[in-house]
Homo-oligomer: A and B are copies of this chain.
Amino acid sequence: MCPSRVAEGEERGWIVPIGGAEDKEMRRRILKRFVQLCGGRDADIAIIPTASKLPDTGQRYEELFDRLEAGRARSIGFASREDGERDDYLRQLETATGIFFTGGNQLRISTIIGGTPAAKLIRERNARGVHVGGTSAGASILSDHMIAFGKEGSSPRAGSVRLAPGLGLTNRFIIDQHFRQRDRLGRLVAALAFNPFVVGIGLDEDTAAFIRPDNVLEVEGSGALTVVDAGDLQFSSMADVGQNQPVCLLGLKVHILVAGATFDLNTRCASPGTLVDDKN
């Protein structure tokens, strides 16, 4: 899927992937910032809990956003491909100032919503300035190429990752979430080894990338965001090795960013920005 075209004079909405397990009780830095971004008391947030099999996930996020004083937060229960064409659901997406995907299994989102009018509308709304965020599975789904599943905790191997098409709000990066908590560097690097065009973004839990319309991302939350940039790769043996052999990859660039730091997806330059002092 390719992102919708942003019309001249307009600005794309922010794209906000979150690494999962975002703080929901204490400082709630990430969710709070998302609410503010969407307009605070004027926000109208459409929650899409489709990734989750739990019946109360949508309601839970409605309450979370309510407590953060979002103007309005209502979930849309896309449960089948037919739902992706329902007028009332589409109308809700049309008036929303922000769209939020919960966690669960990203293949539930891609198989239920992928290719429906709802998916197309989400891309179009984002191109018209509506902000789209998602946590865990909801973060993975945002990009064009998505990690469907993969092996954790090993050196990169050809067989260690499976990609699938995502919603395609951007094709600049591949997201992986619960990044350090589930030891996913190997599979993210394997994903990049197929085609170093994209940048790899590994999000720790309670950590988010707030990606501005100009494609500069700002880090928020208590963990780290690992950028893996294979753009200057000197060598990859990916095409020659067996599924279970480790892949030889020379010349990866890695940045570890924390809250306040930025990364420019256009120029691939990282900056410490104004690092947030969390000691107080």
List chain A positions with a Cβ less than 8 A from chain B.
Answer: 153-156, 179-181, 183, 185-186, 189, 204, 222-224, 226, 228, 234-235, 237, 240, 242, 245-258, 261, 270-272, 275, 278-279
User: Which 10 A-B pairs have CB atoms at the shortest separation, nearest pair first?
Assistant: A155-B224, A224-B246, A252-B254, A183-B183, A250-B270, A249-B256, A248-B258, A155-B180, A250-B255, A235-B272
Most buried by B among A240, A245, A256: A256
Residue of chain B at shortest CB distance from A273:
B248
Question: Are A255 and B261 touching (Cβ within 8 A)?
Answer: no
Residue of chain B at shortest CB distance from A236:
B272
A67 to B255, CA, bound (A): 46
A92 to B183, CA, bound (A): 44
Q: Chain B contacts of A181 at CB under 8 A?
A: 153-154
Question: Are B253 and A254 touching (Cβ within 8 A)?
Answer: yes
Question: Are A256 and B155 touching (Cβ within 8 A)?
Answer: yes
CB within 8 Å for A155 and B204 given contacts A224-B246, A253-B252, A279-B245: yes
Q: Chain B contacts of A180 at CB under 8 A?
A: 153-155, 183, 186
Question: Are A153 and B183 touching (Cβ within 8 A)?
Answer: yes
Min CB distance, A157 to chain B, in Å? 9
A256 to B186, CA, bound (A): 10
Q: Chain B contacts of A247 at CB under 8 A?
A: 224, 256, 258
Q: Chain B contacts of A156 at CB under 8 A?
A: 224, 256
Residue of chain B at shortest CB distance from A257:
B248
7 contacts between A and B (CB under 8 A): A154-B180, A155-B223, A180-B183, A224-B248, A240-B275, A242-B279, A245-B258
